[in-house]
Chain A
Amino acid sequence: MSQASSNIVRFESVSLQYGHEPEILRNITFSIAAGSFAFLTGRSGSGKSSLLRLIYLAQRPSQGFVSLFGENISFIERQALPAIRRRLGVVFQDFRLLDHLSTLDNVAIPLRIAGVREEEVRKHVPELLAWIGLARFLHAKPSTLSCGQKQRMAIARAVISRPDLLLADEPTGSVDSCVARRVFHLFIELHKIGTTIIIATHNECLARQFNFPRMHLEGGRLLLLDTQKT
């Protein structure tokens, strides 16, 4: 791994526990260098989504420190979090689309939050949606779309603002293999332009198809596989 300053994500002895349940993550330490592409694997329930939640700041660790973009988030005030979060793109496992908004408005949220002008929003969002195969559904509500279409919408929302770090939780879980290939092609393109990418999947075969480092969760512990190749 390169020097600490170029680490985009850094966990130091991080543990996570929900209420009084047993620990989901135990004393985890790792770092992800800027510009890397990593898979996070593990069986269902092993804590992949929980680990990602710690990275996208939806959860604070029970113990240990999480650093993002070189800043220890335990010591950051709440008002400073939005600036960090805007450098992240997240594809949630359950999509978390806003049901009352159209495809266009859902995908536009990160741009509007960032204060991008409305003309640009109306130009860029349809372009991306066309590219991802949702051109016909610009004004459709998520509830009228199939699972695969919703997943593509969720991916579009995560990448629309060109994040520095993209977190994708089972991003190809609901799409057919053809679309899955297209989605991975998009991730690889983003990786090429410098985006750091972490993909959580329970599908180890999928992860093995790519020549990227793998972090494996088992029994609350993290095993680093193939980390020498970044």
Chain B
Amino acid sequence: MMFKRRSDFPSAGYLPLAIITVVVFLTTLATASTLILQGIIERWYHDVSGTWTIQVIPVLGDSPAETQQQIDSIMSFLTNTPGISVAQPLNPQQITQLLEPWLDSAELVSNIALPRLIDVVPHTDSLVDAENIILSLINLFPNIHLDDHKNWLNNIIQFGCNLDLFLISLLITIFTLIIIINVHVTRYKIATHRSVIEILHILGAKDDYIALQFAHESLMQGIHGGLLGLILALPVLILITGWLANPLEGDFWQTLQPIQMAMKLIFLPIGVALLAKVTTRMTVYKTLARTVSV
């Protein structure tokens, strides 16, 4: 065992350790899943919030060349506008290729007046300006439609807030549970070792001498149980992320920031261990002050 320190008390056995392992295992899974979800949401948010889509709906009767001309003038307007960093029209061939499998022939597709799409990425530091520019653009060309994905983003933000609340209440619940478990285990240990405590008192031990030994054992159980719970949760987490990564592909792992996530998760066993130590020490003080008369 690491940090093994001599104790005058027999070991409390493996039950408290097993309880902490299970609690930390489940909490790690719940916390990590929440963090992963938040990561995914953040990525969506980032992908979507920075871009607007301008739909150019061809005016009835206009030839493709006329539509293209309108697109060109919108493009030159956008590229000459400060506050807009990228304005990328989706080329008509691309749209046709996308739709071809459903509409059988490319010829047929080219006959349909498809809306043309322009992806716009405004500078993040001049959002309001960019918004004004686009609005004035809409005034100039009534046949365009702006989609800034606001409804979609609001829902995502709301979901993200709910996740935060969930995570906070989960951690509060877990830490309360750890406190309750520790208070009871400590009281039980004090009751079991009454005679040892009495002898130590007679030999001149202060309550602190006893409390520190109990607290150290709790700390060790917290560290060992916590790390064990964390380590056991890792393979399960890798499975979950693998399963999530499949449909999301690409730079998913990078988005997750596994290092940052690990740094957050390691606080769980550390927090549990420190909480166990403090709770145990206080419980010993209180219980001895209440139950020992001489």
Contacts and interface: CB of A to CB of B under 8 A. Distances in A.
Interface of A: 56-60, 78-79, 81-83, 85-86, 88, 90, 96, 98, 100-101, 105, 109-110, 112-114, 157
B202 A58 contact: yes
A85 B292 contact: no
A216 to B, nearest CB: 26
Contact of B205 (A58, A59, A60, A82): A82
4 closest A-B pairs by CB? A86-B204, A85-B204, A100-B10, A82-B206
Interface in B163-177: none
B200 A60 contact: no
* Of B196, B199, B209, B293, most A-chain CB atoms within 10 Å: B199
A226 B91 CA distance: 120
A58 B203 contact: no
B294 interface: yes
Contacts of B123: none
Given A60-B294, A98-B199, A157-B203, 13 more contacts: A57-B202, A57-B294, A58-B202, A58-B294, A78-B292, A81-B201, A82-B206, A83-B204, A85-B201, A88-B204, A105-B8, A109-B203, A113-B203
A58 B196 CA distance: 13
B40 to A, nearest CB: 52
Contacts of A85: 201-204
Contact of A81 (B195, B200, B209, B294): B294
A137 to B, nearest CB: 19
Interface in B265-294: 289, 292-294
A78 B205 CA distance: 12
Contacts of A58: 198, 202, 294
B204 A82 contact: yes
B294 A90 contact: no
A112 B195 CA distance: 18
A114 B292 CA distance: 21
Contacts of B4: none
Given A78-B292, A81-B294, A56 B8 contact: no
B86 to A, nearest CB: 69
Interface in B6-49: 6, 8-10
Contacts of B200: 109, 113
B203 to A, nearest CB: 5
Contacts of A56: 202
A84 to B, nearest CB: 8
A58 B9 CA distance: 20
A113 B199 contact: no
Interface in B202-232: 202-206, 209
Given A58-B198, A113-B209, A78 B203 contact: no
A79 B294 contact: no
B286 to A, nearest CB: 13
A176 B216 CA distance: 42
A60 B199 contact: no
B205 A113 contact: yes
Contacts of A79: 206
Contacts of A109: 8, 200, 203
A17 to B, nearest CB: 16
A91 to B, nearest CB: 12
B139 to A, nearest CB: 82
A149 B6 CA distance: 24
Nearest to B6: A105
Contacts of A81: 201, 294
Contacts of B294: 57-60, 78, 81
A60 B293 CA distance: 9
